[in-house]
Structure 1
């Protein structure tokens, strides 16, 4: 077939044919030209959107998908692709506005139901709407019972929405699959930490590190628990181990820097913190800690700028306002300092509820070593 001649009647089909024959370079070359000569062709716009999405240019893909949808809202697969681009761009609410109607339109036997169910649950999870995420993730986990990652996300959603029986149910399912899984150890550790048992939580995270030292977040979790127990040297080692697994992990960089500050290694901390605030400017703790480093180096103007950025990002952080007040007072601004100290007095922190409810309903049936540890700890 003469692709060039055929494209005069169906320009999108030319790019589609090229893409199907895995001639990606030719497809990328042909499509922009086609979009200029046929700017209102929905097939071309949709294919351009797909190319942008494959390059992780999600904002551009979203614009192109929306243009294609305005021209042909019934194009097969277009709504799902738009939803996926929104999801991958972190626009979870908008993604669910696509996914939920798509799920409702599926037949009970449709293979797409599972995928959409997971995406809806994960979108709610991404927005921090954990209670809304639970029924979708539970349904998806029931249909994919061997998926430990999905079970773990469900467990977190249950934990963060304080659905404690749900946490316990998921835990039993994970243990039944792999009693010595690092993910199971981490789940137990998180639950124990939530119920203010740092010793038990630390024990479980050490077991998780032993089970799989390459498990994402495992070293960070152990490091964080050690950090909360003021064991900064060992915590620092764990944060460094996490960074060996994931060099760009902002939280590991941040807490490594904080541990350095606690141990008097301010210059090491400064290098890490300047990297963190540059790459992740929305993390308030990065600005707070960098302000502390600058203040201790008598760089007061730089410290003031960082403290104000931290306060803007997290206005309910008592420590930020206390630090800012002290700095302003040292700079001869007693009025502004008093305003910050007043904010500290007026702030109320919400307390965390313990997971003792889970403990009181623990089943004694299983005889696995991890079940016994869970029951004993709880």
Structure 2
């Protein structure tokens, strides 16, 4: 009797399970929305998308369907498509829980940072003050402004984010970069000291502090910070170039040359390191080594005024006046406010007997203030942009590209 009862019980259970499964299947078949949700839960993305589109065929203004289609696209990292669906959902029901955040995150990840800022600002307005949600939106706003290069706007948000998270090094580095770009140098140094408490051997932080000190005309302090950066991480991008350039501005050409060479040991195709190593060699009487360095630098990046100027000087010294003139003219186009370029042109015209042109260039030299060396901040920014296409590259003579 017990066995029979157990058998009946087992059949009853199986029947109940089958009935439940069949019931679910029947419900899903009769309810397109439930079918779409079930497919989504099972991870059947393509089928779920088809099911939600079927929902829209009968309910074309259904915000939930648009929201789920946006979510499915976002999970596949199809952020542009996700944004379209999310915005349609917001237009139909702006108060759907989590919808505007999902839209903002898709905009952020998809590179539409201006759209993300608008979404996060709306969310921040509605969030309770001092809540975890408010902090999240504040942090995202800071990062979005930072990503757009709107550094002054990013600073107050990033300050709140770092104040709330005392151990977050990446946020502090973003804040320090923002302060430097916004020329708030005291802010850079304040954040630098915070970073040191988290990571005493941060080459990036040392470089940021060095850039700030250089902007404040504390050149010896800047050099010491870059020396610390080299010690912390001798492989960090541009660390040797930065130190070399600072030494070069102080006419310490022998040591500068060693740093430029160290950067080239790390990055053999670094155009600015090539150009400034060549210049340092010329300054210490090694002009015979400079020509190949300059030519390689120009092949990599034809926008470097220093390389064209020095190549013109080498050509002029070698009696190749026509070629020197071409290089000086390119340097003038690239840096029209550099009096040294005009002075070199004037001297060359004078040696060629072209007196009127020489006088015009001498007049330009006299009218321009003595050029100050560019700060290490501007040089590093230029070095980091070396891979971007030059607007004027197409206008350079073919032999110089």
Cα distance in 1 for partners of 2:315, 2:104 equals 50
Q: Are 2:272 and 2:304, in contact at CA under 8 Å, matched by a contact in 1? A: no
2:296 is matched with which residue?
Answer: 275
May I ask how many residue pairs the two structures share in their alignment? 288
2:198 is matched with which residue?
Answer: 177
For the structure 1 residues 163 and 191, does the alpha-carbon distance in structure 2 shift closer, same or farther, using more than 3 Å as the test? closer
Q: How does 1:334-345 map to 2 (within 5 A)?
A: 334-345=355-366
Query: 117, 120, 135: which one pairs with 1:100?
Result: 117
Cα distance in 1 for partners of 2:104, 2:229 equals 41
**CA drift at 1:131:** 3.5
**CA drift at 1:334:** 1.4
Please identify the structure whose Cα radius of gyration is greater: 2
Deviations 1:76-131 (A, max 9, x none): 99998888787xxxxxxxx6545533443556539687456324213226xxxx53
Q: Are 2:141 and 2:157, in contact at CA under 8 Å, matched by a contact in 1? A: no
Q: Are 2:152 and 2:179, in contact at CA under 8 Å, matched by a contact in 1? A: yes
For the structure 1 residues 258 and 139, does the alpha-carbon distance in structure 2 shift closer, same or farther, using more than 3 Å as the test? farther
Are 1:346 and 2:352 an aligned pair? no
1:151 is matched with which residue?
Answer: 172
2:265 is matched with which residue?
Answer: 244
Q: Secondary structure at the match of 1:298?
A: coil
For the structure 1 residues 245 and 351, does the alpha-carbon distance in structure 2 shift closer, same or farther, using more than 3 Å as the test? closer
Cα distance in 2 for partners of 1:325, 1:351 equals 20
2:34 is matched with which residue?
Answer: none
Are 1:220 and 2:245 an aligned pair? no
Q: Secondary structure at the match of 1:124?
A: coil
Query: 139, 146, 162: which one pairs with 1:121?
Result: 146
Cα distance in 2 for partners of 1:333, 1:340 equals 11
Are 1:306 and 2:327 an aligned pair? yes
TM-score (norm 2): 0.58
Cα distance in 2 for partners of 1:142, 1:291 equals 53
Ranked by relative contact order (alpha carbons within 8 Å, sequence separation 6 or more), the top structure is 1
Cα distance in 1 for partners of 2:330, 2:105 equals 38
**CA drift at 1:320:** 1.2
2:353 is matched with which residue?
Answer: 332
Query: Which structure 1 segments of 5+ residues have no match?
Result: 1-15, 19-42, 54-64, 87-94, 355-378
For the structure 1 residues 72 and 96, does the alpha-carbon distance in structure 2 shift closer, same or farther, using more than 3 Å as the test? closer
**CA drift at 1:170:** 0.9
Cα distance in 1 for partners of 2:171, 2:189 equals 15
Q: Are 2:278 and 2:294, in contact at CA under 8 Å, matched by a contact in 1? A: yes
